[in-house]
């Protein structure tokens, strides 16, 4: 090329949750039976969509109107429905005009960070759901600015760490909260959220709060929505969607709610640029927006969701009870979403550890993969676990963290298989750590 065509942030875009699939597929073709525990897609793990929900979607598909464009911000009746739901929580009040629909939160995230001034930074958690941290880093063309989620304290945000980053890095303009969290499954106490809002107010920052798992909490935990505590002094963007809750990840439908959007002219201009970016694209897909109020408002919706939540609760406890006693591993019981992150104690992993792999070709493939440059120690563990046992998890270090460990989902529906997977991981870790 006569001129450099690569974006300054291109190197920051990684998504190991899907990268690992290539390795798993290769091993599968060599005869390994893979248990896919890497991706947060309930449908891929066999979640059954109830007939009443399918009937609503089928009826909408029979309506020609759902084949047309919708307003750029989204279907008005749906925005009215959502605004009423948010307002009923009794916190900050929004109008349908404060809501913008996107083709999934992935689309929202890339625009929210993509239209932020390059030199302005949003501090993101570490570990961090990669779509956020990669998009933020790519917009700045350098590594993300992160605050600690403390594995020794239930994976809660370290407020002092946030405070120090704000104090010593004047480029920080906003704070990202993911609550309930991916990849840790933590649900933050209201007190912590209030402290973050206070910090934002004191330092004239805005907040982005990803609440895509808002209604998926268990173990007697509830997740305080940002709208209830944001007050009227801090501008914020709250992200919600249908991918996880309905669940309809393939519908590619999510939205942002703008809180205190008129408080600060610069914030207002920024939100407008996000809206204009959507306008250039025309709008987001109409059909999922059209059916949202009918599905969420259906008399069977709450019961259906509740049944899934009780399963996540049960499985979070099975997973915790098996992994908590594994020597060298730091785990917390998850209270929301459907992920669990486990971190190895410092210094336990090395480049000689292995697990037995019977098939010669599979062994050779893995040996080649782990001999490449820059293979992190937890990726080595994850590859060996995959090749030796078929269990596919994601290295924790791929979630914008120096911690070494792995993230696994709680989505397997069969309790016997689920328990077996976690027991396999527990014994695999023990064997791996003692292999050299």
Query: Looking at beta carbons only, is 86 or 354 nearer to ligand PLP?
Result: 86
Spatial CA neighbour of 183 closest among 393, 389, 417: 393
Note whether 74 binds ligand PLP by CB under 6 A: no
Q: Shortest Cβ distance from residue 113 to ligand PLP (Å)?
A: 13
Q: Give the one residue of 127, 254, 336, 395 binding ligand PLP; rule: CB under 6 A.
A: 254
Note whether 42 binds ligand PLP by CB under 6 A: no
CB atoms closer than 10 angstroms to residue 167: 11
Note whether 210 binds ligand PLP by CB under 6 A: yes
Q: Give the one residue of 241, 395, 405, 428 binding ligand PLP; rule: CB under 6 A.
A: 241
CB atoms closer than 10 angstroms to residue 413: 14
Note whether 189 binds ligand PLP by CB under 6 A: no
Query: Looking at beta carbons only, is 96 or 254 nearer to ligand PLP?
Result: 254
Please give the sequence-ordered ranges of beta strands (E in DSSP) within 291-375, or none if there are none: 329-331, 339-344
The residues with which 101 forms a beta bridge, in sequence order, are 255
Spatial CA neighbour of 124 closest among 154, 153, 160, 165: 165
Q: Shortest Cβ distance from residue 186 to ligand PLP (Å)?
A: 12
Q: Give the one residue of 137, 212, 258, 277 binding ligand PLP; rule: CB under 6 A.
A: 212
Lay out the site mask for ligand PLP across 259-298 (x = CB under 6 A, - = otherwise): ----------------------------------------
Note whether 40 binds ligand PLP by CB under 6 A: yes
Segments in 230-371 forming alpha helices (H)? 265-281, 286-296, 301-323, 360-371
Which structure tokens are listed for 240? 């919600």
Q: At CA 220, angle to CA 217 and CA 224, rounded to 5? A: 55
CB 282 within 8 A of CB 72: yes
What single-letter DSSP state applies at residue 400?
T
Note whether 257 binds ligand PLP by CB under 6 A: no
Query: Looking at beta carbons only, is 96 or 249 nearer to ligand PLP?
Result: 249
Note whether 127 binds ligand PLP by CB under 6 A: no
Spatial CA neighbour of 186 closest among 374, 407, 429, 369: 407
Q: Give the one residue of 36, 101, 113, 129 binding ligand PLP; rule: CB under 6 A.
A: 129
CB atoms closer than 10 angstroms to residue 61: 13
Spatial CA neighbour of 40 closest among 241, 284, 204: 241
Lay out the site mask for ligand PLP across 167-186 (x = CB under 6 A, - = otherwise): -----------x---x----
Note whether 390 binds ligand PLP by CB under 6 A: no
3-state secondary structure 204-220: CCEEEEECCCCCCECCC
Residue indicated by tokens 């998850």: 334
Phi and psi, residue 241, nearest 5°: -170, 180
Q: Give the one residue of 133, 134, 215, 243 binding ligand PLP; rule: CB under 6 A.
A: 243
Query: Looking at beta carbons only, is 71 or 106 nearer to ligand PLP?
Result: 106
Q: Give the one residue of 82, 105, 116, 326 binding ligand PLP; rule: CB under 6 A.
A: 105
Q: Using CB under 6 A as the criterion, which residues of the chain lie in contact with ligand PLP when the complex forms?
A: 40, 104-106, 129, 131, 178, 182, 210, 212, 241, 243, 249, 254
């Amino acid at each position: 090329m006569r001129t450099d065509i690569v974006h300054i942030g291109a190197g920051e875009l990684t998504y190991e949750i899907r990268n690992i699939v290539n390795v798993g597929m290769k091993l599968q073709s060599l005869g390994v039976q893979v248990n896919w525990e890497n991706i947060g897609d309930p449908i891929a793990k066999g979640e059954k969509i109830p007939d009443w929900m399918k009937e609503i979607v089928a009826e909408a598909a029979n309506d020609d109107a759902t084949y047309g464009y919708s307003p750029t911000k989204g279907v008005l009746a749906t925005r009215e429905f959502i605004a009423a739901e948010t307002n009923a929580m009794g916190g900050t009040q929004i109008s349908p005009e404060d809501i913008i629909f996107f083709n999934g939160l992935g689309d929202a995230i890339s625009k929210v960070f993509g239209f932020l001034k390059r030199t302005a930074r949003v501090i993101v958690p570490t570990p961090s759901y990669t779509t956020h941290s990669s998009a933020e880093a790519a917009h700045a063309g350098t590594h993300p600015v992160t605050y600690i989620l403390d594995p020794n304290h239930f994976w809660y945000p370290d407020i002092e760490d946030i405070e120090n980053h704000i104090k010593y890095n004047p480029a920080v303009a906003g704070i990202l909260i993911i609550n309930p969290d991916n990849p840790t499954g933590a649900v933050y106490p209201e007190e912590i959220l209030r402290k973050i809002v206070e910090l934002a107010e004191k330092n004239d920052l805005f907040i982005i709060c990803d609440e895509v798992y808002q209604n998926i909490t268990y173990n007697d935990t509830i997740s305080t929505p940002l709208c209830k505590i944001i007050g009227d002094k801090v501008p914020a963007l709250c992200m919600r969607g249908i991918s996880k809750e309905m669940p309809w990840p393939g519908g590619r439908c999510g939205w942002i709610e703008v809180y205190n959007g008129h408080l600060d002219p610069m914030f207002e201009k920024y939100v407008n640029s996000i809206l204009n970016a959507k306008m250039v694209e025309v709008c987001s897909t109409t059909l999922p927006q059209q059916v949202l109020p009918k599905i969420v408002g259906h008399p069977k919706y709450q019961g259906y969701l509740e049944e899934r939540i009780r399963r996540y609760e049960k499985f979070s406890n099975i997973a915790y009870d098996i992994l908590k006693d594994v020597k060298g591993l730091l785990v917390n019981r998850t209270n929301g979403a459907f992920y669990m992150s486990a971190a190895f104690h410092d210094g336990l992993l090395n480049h000689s550890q292995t697990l037995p792999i019977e098939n010669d070709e599979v062994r050779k493939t893995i040996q080649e993969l782990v001999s490449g440059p820059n293979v992190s120690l937890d990726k080595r563990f994850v590859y060996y676990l995959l090749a030796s046992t078929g269990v596919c998890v994601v290295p924790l270090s791929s979630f914008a963290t120096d911690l070494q460990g792995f993230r696994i989902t709680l989505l397997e529906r069969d309790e016997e298989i689920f328990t077996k997977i976690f027991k396999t991981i527990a014994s695999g870790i023990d064997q791996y750590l003692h292999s050299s």
